[in-house]
Amino acid sequence: MGYTIAQKIIKAHLLSGEMTVGSEVGLKIDQTLTQDATGTMAYLEFEAIGVPRVKTEKSVAYIDHNTLQTGFENADDHRFIQSVCKKHGIYFSRPGNGICHQVHLERFGKPGKTLIGSDSHTPTGGGIGMLAIGAGGLDVAVAMGGGAYYISMPKMVRINLTGKLQPWVSAKDIILEVLRIMSVKGGVGKIIEYGGEGVKTLTVPERATITNMGAELGATTSIFPSDEITRSFMKAQGREEDWTELSADADAVYDEVIDINLSELVPMAACPHSPDNIKTIEEIGPQTVDQICIGSCTNSSYLDLMRVAAILKGKTVAPNVSLAIAPGSKQVYNMLARNGALADIIEAGARILECACGPCIGMGQSPNSKGISLRTFNRNFEGRSGTRDGQIYLVSPETAAASALTGVFTDPRTLGDAVDIPLPEKFEYNDNMVIAPAPVEEMDSVEVLRGPNIKPYPQTAPLAESIDVPCSLKVGDNITTDHIMPAGAKILPLRSNIPAISEHCFTVCDKEFPTRAKSLGSSIVVGGVNYGQGSSREHAALAPLYLGVKAVVVKSFARIHRANLINAGILPLTFVNEADYDAINQGDELSVPNVRQLILDGKEELVLVNKTNGKEIPVKCELSDRTRDIILAGGLLDYTRNSNSN
């Protein structure tokens, strides 16, 4: 039996476990990336592990999220990260160099290698045939220290692409179609592989748009083959020697196959407030729009912005629209500046932002009240834009630019002849904004610079004998980590200060939660399906940990968040019968008797007693030997420290 692309990479990096679906496999990690909003915590954790120099082939720290400096906090974090990088062997991508995923794809990614990143859109690297996975900061810290990264062996899904996109239909429309078919929870426990004749019609930046937004399926990762198209992209980046060919065996077996005929796709949008709430632009009709934002790690490549520039050239943005554009990297920005496309964009009236995440994470450009905002981004969760009642639609750059000119939702196919933008034979690359670490002999003398907002990792404790606590919060289905630990310009500067950021935990759902949780001392949170989808931010586990949350009981979890809860020593429980969700109300007194001994004995089925109504609720806690030890130890940091000292 042959192997899929992902199985080949997993096999070549397998440190422990068996490649059977659902069992835990430990992988050797070749590369890591961090960004600044998760990075400060990840490097504090790396320091706590105590390994002097990273053991990966390449680790890169990017500054791209917290670039709005309205106080000292973000700038202090940047200096901290820069000094840690210099000392511990990590490459530092300076603010201004671009969004981590875009830059990593351009400059560092390699087909066939493994990459984990403290950001959920790390699968962007799958566009060049990397096995690139989003993870919590602590997992990245462990991997930098040479430790394995563990996943449960995913099912393999093949998306078979046939045909060719029609003019004005975009790679974004392909991933929106996949989201329409599979939904935001359809990818959980799966790796999505693209294959078929249609793959040959897609450039690397287009493939990367698709693997990037595969994160919204909840998938472990997404991957394309590495072929001649990949080779020419890498050659144009001056890195042909980093290229290797990679494809699935002809007799590879997939658990699921989905066929998509590219020729039949039309421009689409993900409507508020979920990336899988898909309609065609035609169906939405010519509704008025207030704002358009173009950029983010999904759609800010040279190709994307050249198409936008061609659409805007010689025209003016509609009077009712504010158009903001953030190029994905310094390379993209520079090339647009040199070839004149930037002038076309400016001339048309766009508001040009620095190359960073910006509005995608609510760092500025929040829309007006009830504002309709079309964005080329990947997430449209309620409130994420910074405007609570903002109506965010996710669209392609072509749809965004066409609508910017008319002021209403506009199908770009109405624009007439398609623009043909070839990929350049040579990108204008220059790594002058990447700082190499100090040589080994000098690293001891490098001082790490810590600002006053940087506070230590929260206090942890080994799992208690029994859990006897009230339910401090009950939430519904598809709760995102943006609900649990909101981002945005005001809260992001607190990412390195868990006590302070905890004051905002769950406030999107319930303003009183932090005060209530603190006054209760310890508690349990109850949720529905796909709990913790979205961002990889471990703060969505660390803030509850700080507020005394001992366990989370839900119908089902999203992958990264479940791992982050375990890493923080919080017990992840699922209802055996989903209907039992109704047997708990906020405020009920709950108990998991004898939990430590039961977990120690390897029991997966536990009983949660609702002491308020007398119900005995069967719950599940599926753990591997390793995650069991982590939970017993009180989290991954304690577990790693204990194992290092043994």
CA atoms within 13 A on the CB side of 55: 15
How far apart are the C-alpha atoms of 485 and 221, rounded to whole Å? 23
| Nearer Cβ to ligand MIC (8/65) | 65
Per-position b or e across 360-396, b if 16+ CB within 10 A of its CB:
bbbbbbbbeeebbbbbbbbbbbbbbbbbeebbbbbbb
Q: How far is the CB of 281 from ligand MIC (least distance, A)?
A: 24
| Nearer Cβ to ligand SF4 (230/296) | 296
Residues 479-518 that bind ligand MIC (CB under 6 A): 487
| Nearer Cβ to ligand SF4 (89/134) | 134
Q: Which of 537, 561, 562, 628 binds ligand MIC (CB under 6 A)?
A: 537
**Residue 644 neighbours by CB distance under 10 Å:** 12
Instruction: Give which of ligand MIC, ligand SF4, none residue 99 binds (C-beta under 5 to 8 Å, depending on kind).
Output: ligand SF4
Q: Which of 74, 120, 298, 334 binds ligand MIC (CB under 6 A)?
A: 120
Structure tokens that stand for 545 in this block? 């940990």
- What letter represents residue 468's amino acid? D
Instruction: Give which of ligand SF4, ligand MIC, none residue 296 binds (C-beta under 5 to 8 Å, depending on kind).
Output: ligand SF4
Q: Does 222 bind ligand MIC (CB under 6 A)?
A: no
| Nearer Cβ to ligand MIC (393/581) | 393
Q: Which of 4, 329, 535, 567 binds ligand MIC (CB under 6 A)?
A: 535
Instruction: Give which of ligand SF4, ligand MIC, none residue 391 binds (C-beta under 5 to 8 Å, depending on kind).
Output: none
How far apart are the C-alpha atoms of 374 and 436, rounded to whole Å? 38
Q: Which of 130, 294, 345, 361 binds ligand MIC (CB under 6 A)?
A: 361
What does DSSP assign to residue 200?
A: G
How far apart are the C-alpha atoms of 176 and 180, rounded to whole Å? 6
Q: How far is the CB of 282 from ligand SF4 (least distance, A)?
A: 27
Q: How far is the CB of 378 from ligand MIC (least distance, A)?
A: 7
Structure tokens that stand for 367 in this block? 């829309």
From 223-231, 357-365, 477-485, 511-519, span contacting ligand SF4 (CB under 6 A): 357-365
How far apart are the C-alpha atoms of 390 and 129, rounded to whole Å? 36
Residues 158, 159, 162: CA angle, nearest 5 degrees: 130
Q: Which of 30, 106, 119, 173 binds ligand MIC (CB under 6 A)?
A: 119
Reported for 10-14, long-range contacts at CB under 8 A and 24+ positions apart, including other chains, are: 10/131, 10/153, 12/112, 13/114, 13/131
Site pattern 46..85 for ligand MIC (x: CB under 6 A):
-------------------x--------------------
| Nearer Cβ to ligand SF4 (168/377) | 377
Q: Which of 44, 141, 289, 360 binds ligand SF4 (CB under 6 A)?
A: 360
Integer angstrom CA distances of residue 455 from 40, 48, 77, 82, 417: 10, 13, 11, 17, 56
Structure tokens that stand for 433 in this block? 């904004």
From 154-162, 184-192, 347-355, 531-539, span contacting ligand MIC (CB under 6 A): 531-539
Q: How far is the CB of 106 from ligand MIC (least distance, A)?
A: 18
Residues 112-151 that bind ligand SF4 (CB under 6 A): 119, 121
How far apart are the C-alpha atoms of 65 and 357, rounded to whole Å? 5
How far apart are the C-alpha atoms of 449 and 78, rounded to whole Å? 10
Instruction: Give which of ligand SF4, ligand MIC, none residue 536 binds (C-beta under 5 to 8 Å, depending on kind).
Output: ligand MIC
Beta strands per DSSP E along 454-522: 467-474
Site pattern 87..106 for ligand SF4 (x: CB under 6 A):
------------x-------
From 226-234, 510-518, 530-538, 580-588, span contacting ligand MIC (CB under 6 A): 530-538
Q: How far is the CB of 377 from ligand MIC (least distance, A)?
A: 8
| Nearer Cβ to ligand MIC (31/34) | 34
| Nearer Cβ to ligand MIC (112/486) | 486
Q: Does 37 bind ligand MIC (CB under 6 A)?
A: yes
Instruction: Give which of ligand SF4, ligand MIC, none residue 38 binds (C-beta under 5 to 8 Å, depending on kind).
Output: ligand MIC
User: Mapping DSSP to helix (H, G, I), strand (E, B) and coil, where does residue 381 land?
Assistant: coil
- C-beta of residue 451 within 8 angstroms of C-beta of residue 73: yes
Q: Which residue in this structure is represented by tokens 């520079």?
A: 334
How far apart are the C-alpha atoms of 216 and 328, rounded to whole Å? 19
Q: Does 398 bind ligand MIC (CB under 6 A)?
A: no
List Cβ neighbours of 83 (8 Å cut-off, separation of 6 or more).
446, 447, 448, 449
Residues 133-192 that bind ligand MIC (CB under 6 A): 134
Is the C-alpha dihedral spanning 280, 283, 286, 292 positive or negative?
Answer: negative
How far apart are the C-alpha atoms of 464 and 448, rounded to whole Å? 36
From 166-174, 345-353, 356-364, 541-549, span contacting ligand SF4 (CB under 6 A): 356-364
Site pattern 371..390 for ligand SF4 (x: CB under 6 A):
------xx------------
| Nearer Cβ to ligand MIC (81/310) | 81
Instruction: Give which of ligand SF4, ligand MIC, none residue 396 binds (C-beta under 5 to 8 Å, depending on kind).
Output: none
From 101-109, 330-338, 533-541, 606-614, span contacting ligand MIC (CB under 6 A): 533-541
| Nearer Cβ to ligand MIC (409/506) | 506
How far apart are the C-alpha atoms of 544 and 548, rounded to whole Å? 6
| Nearer Cβ to ligand MIC (37/84) | 37
From 125-133, 159-167, 354-362, 381-389, span contacting ligand SF4 (CB under 6 A): 354-362
Environment class of 232 (CB within 10 Å of its CB; exposed 0-12, middle 13-18, buried 19+): middle
User: Mapping DSSP to helix (H, G, I), strand (E, B) and coil, where does residue 116 land?
Assistant: strand
- C-beta of residue 226 within 8 angstroms of C-beta of residue 245: yes
How far apart are the C-alpha atoms of 436 and 447, rounded to whole Å? 16
Instruction: Give which of ligand SF4, ligand MIC, none residue 580 binds (C-beta under 5 to 8 Å, depending on kind).
Output: none
How far apart are the C-alpha atoms of 90 and 118, rounded to whole Å? 14
Q: Does 38 bind ligand MIC (CB under 6 A)?
A: yes
For residue 515, give the H/E element and its range: helix 513-520
Q: Which of 199, 361, 374, 540 binds ligand SF4 (CB under 6 A)?
A: 361
- Per the rule left: phi > 0, alpha: psi between -120 and 50, beta: everything else, 429 is beta
Q: How far is the CB of 641 from ligand MIC (least distance, A)?
A: 25
Site pattern 286..315 for ligand SF4 (x: CB under 6 A):
----------xx------------------
Pick the closest to residue 528 from 549, 551, 556 (CA basis). Answer: 556
Q: Which residues bind ligand MIC (CB under 6 A)?
A: 37-38, 65, 119-121, 134, 361, 379, 487, 534-537
Q: Which residues bind ligand SF4 (CB under 6 A)?
A: 65, 99, 119, 121, 296-297, 357, 360-361, 377-378
